[in-house]
Amino acid sequence: MASLLNIGITGLNAAQAGLVTTGHNISNAGTPGYSRQTVVQSTQDPVFSGAGFFGTGTKIDSVKRAYSQYLENQVLAADTRRAELETYTAQIGELDNLLADADAGLSAAMAQFFEGVQDVAANPSSVPARQSLLSSAESLVSRFQTLSSRVDEVRDSTETLIAGSVDQINTYAREIADLNVQITSVQSAGNSLPANDLLDQRNELIRQLNQYVRVSAIEESNGAVSVFIGTGQSLVIGGQVSTLSATASPEDPSRLAIGLETPSGGRVIFPEGLLSGGQLSGALAFRRESLDPVQNQLGMIAAGLGLTFNEQHRLGMDLDGAFGGDFFEGLAPTVKGINGAASPVTVDFDPAGAENLTGDEYMLTVDSSAALGYTLSRRSDGQAVTAADVGLSVTLGAAASLVDGDAFLVQPTRNVARDLSVAIQDTRLVAAADPVVGNTTLANTGTGSLSQVHTTVIGNMDGTPADNKPDFSDIVMTFSAAANTLTPAGTGLTFTPATLSFNPATEAAGKTFTLTANSGGSSFQVEFQIAGAPDNGDTFTLSANATATDIGVSDNRNMVALGELQFNKSLLVRRDASGAPVAGTATATFQSVYSQLVSTVGSKTREVQVGVQAQERLVEQASASKEALSGVNLDEEAANLVRYQQSYQASARVMQIAGRLFDEILSIAQ
């Protein structure tokens, strides 16, 4: 009877274990990361008798959780990519909305500015038109500054997101390490049987960590798990945690770099490309692939517009008869010393190199063995470049203060949109006129004409006195019918070319000339057109423009040239196979560069949005497969409750029968 009673007891215990486990499943059906548990039972060792082996009941071997590392890895891989793209989408969406907004964007402000230029060109003597131009210039500058400010706000939020992600990674890493210690301790005390609930909690922490950075986890023989990030850098080993830090980048203190703190107290900086997946990678990728280029391109438009407009404005003449000055200011590259470098290095824009600007960033390294005393390389790929080829000029300080290896980050256009401002406030300083006028002598007997005169180089046009005004002597060009040439002459001037070839028989429709006037080692240059059929001895004169006779007041030639800049291709020059710019092959207007920028950001926004949708679907599929194995099915658990209840009742019945039999034996003995 004792054996039958014991069998009943084992069955009762087994059914009770099943009921407890089923109840545990039901109560944790909504717990994140919980894996369904089942009781694993087997028969107890039988007892041999003369008639054979008789069973002694059942026993509980363990409580097993329904878990697949393969399915878990699928979920982790899909989810970390989803988190990365989701972060990227949220950040780039702000840029897309900003740049594409018809009211907040740059297109309308540029169009309004050039409308102001055209108004002055139409009425150069109008003070209200000039004031309107200055007002529209201020509006354009304000729009650049507003866009730059909003981009800076996006940058600040990105840096905050990066720092917050690092803090979360460290928090999860410490919690995983703590659970490693618990699991190792518990399982060693429990005959190495799995601590299912603790394992689920640890897996859930790994899943949460995986949303911030892609992780790979390897379970050790003692039950602890080792967690790795990047290309295999350990984050958690047993109970030991490596701490990440978000610290100022040694190359650019304005941005955060991800470092790993070493046991000795040092710090190793991660290359951004090594960190993939998760929110942290999404923020880093957005900053690197979209935010930096957008800010640099925006600055390139501001720099290109400012430099090109200034260059043409300086070729003009204002209402006081003086040469035009800079219309815009604040046009300067940003230079940052790396690791405390403080050698005197000056980087400026090449005055005539706006078309060579690229929007790239560069590393300048002092090197006394180099021909120029330094090397300049593109930051994105390390390719060596020549300063002039990328629209820059570099000046090194005194040799005594230079140290080989001193390095500087050169960001030519990063902050130009922020720093751009209007340099003039007085309407009289708007240089609408050209400093050179052309005259056809009334005594000429032919039909030759001089037109389309405009200055291309001022040079030494300011003679004596040096008053920043055009005061060169008249240049008289005399036509020779016998030689079909125009010969220029002027007091104290020599000319290149010395004679100008013009054949009225074939070129009467008009021929354009470029004449360089040399004096005292310097020169100025004028373009003009000769048309018609001049007679022998006819003369054409180039003279300094003068406001004394109101010639300069009504002159709009330079303002017309400034207005043409709106449609001229002034940026993004073509380059040969070596990367050197091909002069005069600029491919884009200011507006087209901005349109391309808006289009690029919009395309990237759509790309990552589609990527998020695809990854969400992959996460759903992977999670469904995992849930089918590990999830709690309440209908199934309800059926298990009935089954284990019946088993419990049946085992109790066995014990009841064993008790009656025992009572019968006792009654016989009486």
Q: How far apart are CA 439 and CA 544, in angstroms?
A: 11
pLDDT score, position 565: 95
Specify burial of residue 184 (Cβ count, 10 A radius: 0-12, 13-18, 19+): middle
φ/ψ (deg, to 5) at 101: -65, 125
Average pLDDT over residues 168-184: 94
Length of the chain: 670
Q: How far apart are CA 234 and CA 219, in angstroms?
A: 13
* Residue 391, helix vs strand vs coil: coil
Sign (positive or negative) of CA dihedral 65, 66, 68, 74: negative
pLDDT score, position 175: 95
Specify burial of residue 239 (Cβ count, 10 A radius: 0-12, 13-18, 19+): middle
Pairing of strands 539-544, 436-440: antiparallel
pLDDT score, position 25: 85
Q: How far apart are CA 40 and CA 497, in angstroms?
A: 103
Q: How many CB atoms lie within 10 A of CB 521?
A: 6
Say yes or no to pLDDT of 549 above 70: no
* Residue 519, helix vs strand vs coil: strand
Say yes or no to pLDDT of 546 above 80: no
Say yes or no to pLDDT of 551 above 80: no
Q: Which of 26-35, 170-179, 443-452, 645-654 has the lowest mean pLDDT?
A: 645-654
Average pLDDT over residues 120-131: 94
CA separation, residue 479 to residues 475, 503, 505, 541, 637 (Å): 13, 10, 14, 11, 109
Say yes or no to pLDDT of 2 above 60: no
Pairing of strands 267-269, 256-261: antiparallel
Task: Specify whether the CB–CB gap between 227 and 173 falls below 8 A.
Answer: yes
pLDDT score, position 260: 85
CA separation, residue 327 to residues 348, 425, 454 (Å): 17, 9, 19
Task: Specify whether the CB–CB gap between 113 and 143 falls below 8 A.
Answer: no
Cross-strand pairs, 256: 248
* Residue 73, helix vs strand vs coil: helix
Q: How far apart are CA 107 and CA 584, in angstroms?
A: 25
Cα 186–chain centre separation: 48
Say yes or no to pLDDT of 189 above 90: no
Q: 376-396 burial string, b = 16+ CB within 10 Å, else e?
A: bebbeeeeebebebbbbebeb
pLDDT band at 193 (very low <50, low <70, confident <90, very high): confident
The one-letter code for the residue type at 196 is N
Nearest of 445, 601, 654 to residue 534 by alpha carbon: 445
Q: 166-176 burial string, b = 16+ CB within 10 Å, else e?
A: bebbbebbebb
Average pLDDT over residues 431-453: 93
Q: How many CB atoms lie within 10 A of CB 607?
A: 14
pLDDT band at 550 (very low <50, low <70, confident <90, very high): low
CA separation, residue 632 to residues 28, 73, 492, 578, 654 (Å): 8, 20, 100, 64, 32
pLDDT score, position 155: 95
Average pLDDT over residues 498-504: 95
Q: How far apart are CA 41 and CA 36, in angstroms?
A: 16
Q: Element (H or E) spanning 52, and its range?
A: strand 52-54
Both tokens of 11, joined, read 């069955």
φ/ψ (deg, to 5) at 565: -60, -25
Tell me the domain boundaries of the chain. 2-66+631-669, 72-104+126-289, 436-544
Nearest of 313, 647, 251 to residue 455 by alpha carbon: 313
Say yes or no to pLDDT of 431 above 60: yes
Pairing of strands 215-219, 225-229: antiparallel
Residues contacting 141, CB < 8 A, separation 6+: 328, 420, 421, 422
Q: pTM of the entire structure? A: 0.88
Average pLDDT over residues 479-502: 94
Say yes or no to pLDDT of 113 above 60: yes
pLDDT band at 264 (very low <50, low <70, confident <90, very high): low
Q: How far apart are CA 77 and CA 289, in angstroms?
A: 22
Average pLDDT over residues 218-241: 88
The Cα angle at residue 654 between residues 648 and 657, in degrees rounded to 5: 140
pLDDT band at 343 (very low <50, low <70, confident <90, very high): low
Q: How far apart are CA 449 and CA 434, in angstroms?
A: 19
Q: How far apart are CA 382 and CA 376, in angstroms?
A: 9
Q: How many CB atoms lie within 10 A of CB 432?
A: 31
Say yes or no to pLDDT of 364 above 70: yes
Residues contacting 663, CB < 8 A, separation 6+: none
The one-letter code for the residue type at 599 is S
Q: How many CB atoms lie within 10 A of CB 475?
A: 21
| Per-chain mean pLDDT for the chain | 90
Say yes or no to pLDDT of 521 above 80: no
φ/ψ (deg, to 5) at 528: -160, 170
Cross-strand pairs, 471: none
Average pLDDT over residues 140-150: 95
Q: How far apart are CA 115 and CA 573, in angstroms?
A: 26
Nearest of 591, 204, 18 to residue 26 by alpha carbon: 18
Q: How far apart are CA 525 and CA 516, in angstroms?
A: 4
pLDDT band at 554 (very low <50, low <70, confident <90, very high): confident
Q: How far apart are CA 490 and CA 476, in angstroms?
A: 6
Cross-strand pairs, 47: 54
Q: How many CB atoms lie within 10 A of CB 285?
A: 22
pLDDT band at 45 (very low <50, low <70, confident <90, very high): confident
pLDDT score, position 437: 93
Specify burial of residue 473 (Cβ count, 10 A radius: 0-12, 13-18, 19+): middle
Task: Specify whether the CB–CB gap between 423 and 326 falls below 8 A.
Answer: yes
Tens of pLDDT, residues 51-70: 778 888 888 888 889 888 89
The one-letter code for the residue type at 576 is D
Higher pLDDT, 232 or 639: 639
pLDDT score, position 209: 95
Say yes or no to pLDDT of 548 above 60: no
Tens of pLDDT, residues 366-393: 998 998 989 999 998 899 999 999 999 9
pLDDT band at 337 (very low <50, low <70, confident <90, very high): confident
Both tokens of 502, joined, read 């013009």
CA separation, residue 68 to residues 385, 538, 626 (Å): 54, 99, 8
The Cα angle at residue 300 between residues 298 and 302, in degrees rounded to 5: 75
Say yes or no to pLDDT of 670 above 80: no
Dihedral (Cα; 440, 441, 447, 448), 10-degree rounding: -40
Tens of pLDDT, residues 446-462: 999 999 999 999 988 88
Q: How far apart are CA 317 and CA 434, in angstroms?
A: 6
The Cα angle at residue 133 between residues 128 and 137, in degrees rounded to 5: 145
**How far does the chain reach from its first CA to its final CA, in angstroms?**
18
